[in-house]
Chains A and B, each alone.
Chain A
Amino acid sequence: MRVVWRVAVSVFRESVRDKVLYNLVFFAILLIAASALIGQLSAGQELKIIKDLGLAAMSIFGLFIAVFIGIGLVFKEVERRSIYSLLAKPITRTQFILGKYAGLVLTLAVNLGIMVAAFYAVLAWLDATTPAVLKRAWEAPALDPAMLTAVALVFVQLMVITAVALLFSTFSSPLLSAALTFGVFLAGHFSADLRDLEQAVQSPVITGVTRALYYLLPNLAAFDVKARVVHGDPVLWTDVGLAVGYGVLYIGALLTAAVWIFSRRDFK
């Protein structure tokens, strides 16, 4: 476990050195500029739009970090030939993969944590500067803690995407890995359509294929409760629990596959 942690910390340090956390500056500028501009454009919908924008920006920035760092996690070590010296040390390939994954997840967690703090700071400012009479129109309070549920599920979704990127990184080039990971991300939002396709086609072969794809591809829509929390609609704990459980099992499957592929690679 200690070895995994060391690899994870080195991945995190490398991300910081690569100036990945600069995206936080963009996030802060985006939110502050949006809160100043949107008040003029949205006819009283600043709160909804800032919440929508903040939650979407967290998800998008996280997605880009997960994909563009995730795809190079293993490939860079192989290309730089540092994999040879690493594997010569007392570290197993499983520990290496898990450490790399944990490092990127740590980067994402720190990143998301700071974004959440900036997000709530902007919302607190909006809350403090809005007259009480206008607050009555809000569907949910500005500092609604329910938004943390949406953030938590965004985090689980990013963990899934990171695992997908890492899996591709174990056997493919960064360019192809990025294309495949984005492909999985897109397909993961259409899984409900795959399920519905069964009703539209007669062929049992196609029905079987679409059903297999439906279960094989990650159902990323399960992690999306952003609109619900913004409107103040309740999010059931059973739904959250099911989504998190699904995410954990899916990540486990992806990491196992990554370890399996990586352990079969010949670096001689």
Chain B
Amino acid sequence: MAPPDTRQAVHPPSARLAALVVVLLAGSVGLQVVRDRTRPPEAVRDAVLYVPSGAVLQRLALSYDAVLADVYWIRALLHFGGTRLAEGRPKKYEVLYPLLSIATTLDPHFNIAYRFGAFFLSEPPPGGPGRPDQAIALLERGLAARPGKWQYMQDIGFVHYWWRRDYAEAARWFKRAADQPGAPWWLRSLAANTLAEGGDRRASRALWTALAETSDNDWLRREAARRLTQLDTLDVIDQVQAIVQRHIARGGDAPYTWEALVRAGLLRGVPTDAIGTPLELGPYTGRVALPGTSPLWPLPSEPPPSQAAPLSGAQGQ
């Protein structure tokens, strides 16, 4: 008589064990789902910098500082994007500059962290922290690492032009960028135009067109294209505003509505911005504006014509 097979008693079949693993895992996932449903998600925690010093992190990273720089770059992107898209809480972007600063300390040649970072930092609230000073500081750190990098000088000029409205300083930086070896020819004419027509919408259009046509980065090109669309929308608003003024001058009474303007034969339909979002009309002010729901909102503010006049003092710098 053959001895009884005891293997099964000692070692349970592996298929049964695998099934047990699957069942237990499925049970744990189910409980997690129930828990998530019954407990509301916690409020988003404030952004935290676990190690605030880039220099300390550089030491801790040993020879893996470039990878850590990538991690901080992705954290900066997530912080900027997450804060920008967040609803129902103040948009503070409080660790954006420290994150970018750490990323560029860990990898001083991290080109895009300087260039995008400057864009992010300059963007006015609520789309960004509105800190052109930090944007310039970041780009100047980039220049300290790569002194001949004309793109950083161009970007500094850009921040002065667009966000600080310091056209003399902008022209000085464009000229400095133009003087670098390998810089494109149009930077020189940009410097001259900025000096002559600073703040003018035409000059702004030239600036963004140059960036859209010459940038080798997809994100920068798309951003420049968006800015150009905003300028197109400003043109549309100016035209429609002129029509509304004409209506008011002819004795049109408040409340002003698009329907009234269409009935009067001044408009064919409800006017839209450059991407098709209907514009708003102030019923008692007659002011034409872009609604906050438009992807192009907020539009850039423009200085009054007196501020856009030519500035002296930057020539020959």
Q: Which A residues are closer than 8 A to B by beta carbons?
A: 38, 41-45, 48-49, 52-53, 55-56, 59-60, 133-134, 136-137, 139, 185-186, 189-190, 193, 220-221, 223-224, 226-227, 230-231, 233
Residues of A within 8 A of B62 (CB): 185-186, 189, 220
With both beta carbons as reference points, the residue of chain A lying nearest to B70 in the complex is identified as A49
* B73 in the interface (beta carbon within 8 A): yes
Report whether B67 and A189 are in contact in the complex, using a CB–CB cutoff of 8 Å: no
Which residue of the partner chain B has the closest CB to A37? B74
B137 at the binding interface (Cβ < 8 Å) = no
A231, B109: Cβ atoms closer than 8 Å: yes
Question: Please, which residues of chain B bring their CB within 8 A of the CB of A139?
Answer: 111
Given contacts A44-B219, A227-B66, A227-B107, 20 further A-B contacts (CB under 8 A): A42-B77, A43-B219, A44-B112, A44-B218, A45-B70, A45-B112, A52-B66, A52-B70, A53-B67, A53-B70, A55-B66, A59-B63, A139-B111, A186-B62, A189-B63, A220-B62, A224-B63, A226-B63, A227-B65, A230-B66
Cross-chain contact B63 with A43 (CB below 8 angstroms): no
Q: Does the CB pair A226–B66 fall under 8 Å? A: yes
Interface size class of B (residues with CB under 8 A): 20 to 34
Nearest B-chain residue to A154, judged by Cβ: B63
CB-CB < 8 A to A48: which residues of B? 70, 112
A41 touches B66 (CB 8 A): no
Chain B interface (Cβ < 8 Å from any Cβ of A): 59, 62-67, 69-70, 73-74, 77-78, 107, 109, 111-112, 116, 216-219
CB distance from A219 to the nearest CB of B (A): 11
Give CA–CA (A136, B112) in the complex, Å: 13
Q: Are A56 and B64 also in contact (CB < 8 A) when A41-B74, A136-B216 are? A: yes
| A41 in contact with B109 given A48-B70, A53-B70 (CB within 8 Å) | no
Q: Are A190 and B59 in contact (CB under 8 A)?
A: yes
Give the complex CA separation of A43 and B69 in angstroms.
14
With A133-B216, A137-B217, A189-B62 known to touch, is A43 a contact of B112 (CB < 8 Å)?
Answer: yes
Nearest residue (CB) in A for B107 is A227
* B219/A41 in contact, CB under 8 A: no
CB pair A220 B63 closer than 8 Å: yes
Q: Are A42 and B63 in contact (CB under 8 A)?
A: no
- Bound together, the chains give a CA A60 to CA B116 distance in angstroms of 30
Which residues of A have CB within 8 Å of B107?
227
Q: How far is the CB of A183 from chain B (nearest CB, A)?
A: 13
Q: How far in angstroms is the closest Cβ of chain B from A70?
A: 18
Partner of A56, one of B66, B74, B78, B217: B66
CB A53 to nearest CB in B, in angstroms, measures 6
Q: Which residue from B64, B70, B111, B217 sits with its C-beta under 8 Å from A42? A: B70
In Å, the complex CA distance between A231 and B218 comes to: 19
Q: Does B67 lie within 8 Å of A52, measured CB to CB?
A: yes
A104–B286 Cα distance when bound, in Å, is 81
Q: Which residue of A lies closest to B69 (CB)?
A: A52
- Smallest CB separation, B222 vs chain A (Å): 10
Contact of B217 with A44 in the complex, beta carbons under 8 Å: yes
Distance between Cα atoms of A44 and B70 in the complex (Å):
12
